[in-house]
Amino acid sequence: MEIAPGVYSLSQSKGFDVHAFLLDDGTGLTLIDTLFDADAKIILNQISAMGQTVTDLKRIVLTHGHRSHLGGLAELKRQSGAPIYSHEWEADIIAGERKAQCVSWRPQDPLKTYHFQVGNNLNLSKHPPCEIDHYLRGGEQFGPVQVLHTPGHSPGHLAFYWPERRVLFTGDAVVTSPKFMAGWPGFVLNARQHEESLRQLAEFEADILAVGHGEPVMADGTQRLRSLLE
Ligand SMILES: [Zn+2]
Ligand SMILES: [Zn+2]
């Protein structure tokens, strides 16, 4: 689904309605996250539907190293040869050398996410590992978007802003499934950093919030973000 000119929202129910975003600024494709499935079919089909080929994919970035976002990465790397980017803190997780940091064992609202907390902590579902080629630390330009370091959900969590499109890609700092909220509380590793990151995100003028889980917020993005801080 094209949610703004050149911004395509891709999703799958597995991975708790996880979303990835394909950006077309006319100079090649940029991919943010890779959904759950290891065959990357949903993303590859979208590239074909746009009349492009997998080698038009010029760069892939991961918001962070959680399983639901990493599934298609290795296959996309193999087919496209595109360089892979993440924050340095997440790189060894994505490369399969370290498991994702444990989150709380305590069930927290929304209860529907509890099996994800357990799955994460026991490392039950492994993604096909993939080496990171380049690190981002926040403040860079990456394809058409600005890179924002937004720790809290994880230490190396990244978000992105495309000013011309007024779209903020929040990663898991914000979700809309099962409801609009400032991430899943059971998955916030550092609440102080998380709140700081939300304040940082709320500074940007955005109509659309392209979130990690659930459908994008399609209007009044900045106001909706600010409402989470009240
Ligand atoms: Zn996550
Ligand atoms: Zn996630």
Closest ligand (CA of 100): 1
Confidence of residue 93 (pLDDT cuts 50, 70, 90): very high
- The model's pTM is 0.97
Q: What is the DSSP string of the chain?
A: -EEETTEEEEEESHHHHEEEEEEE-SSSEEEE---S-TT-HHHHHHHHHTT--GGGEEEEE-S---GGGTTTHHHHHHHH---EEE-HHHHHHHTTSSPPPP---S--SSGGGHHHHHHHHHT-SPPPP----EE--SS-EETTEEEEE--SSSTT-EEEEEGGGTEEEEETTSB-SSSSBSS-GGG-S-HHHHHHHHHHHTTS--SEEEESBSPPB-S-HHHHHHHHT-
Cα 66 to averaged position of ligand 1 atoms, centre (Å)? 5
Does residue 106 carry a pLDDT above 90? no
What does the pLDDT average to over 181-190? 94
Give the tens place of pLDDT for each residue, 114-137. Answer: 888 888 888 888 999 999 999 999
Between the CA of 72 and the centroid of ligand 1 the distance, in Å, is 16
More confident residue, 124 or 34: 34
Q: Around ion ligand 2, which residues have CB less than 5 A away?
A: 66, 68, 172, 212
Grade residue 36 by pLDDT with cuts at 50, 70 and 90. Answer: very high
pLDDT at position 34 over 90: yes
13 pLDDT above the threshold of 90: yes
Percent of the chain with pLDDT over 70: 100
Q: Which ligand is nearest to the CA of 65?
A: 1
pLDDT value of position 72: 98
Q: Name the closest ligand to CA 15.
A: 2
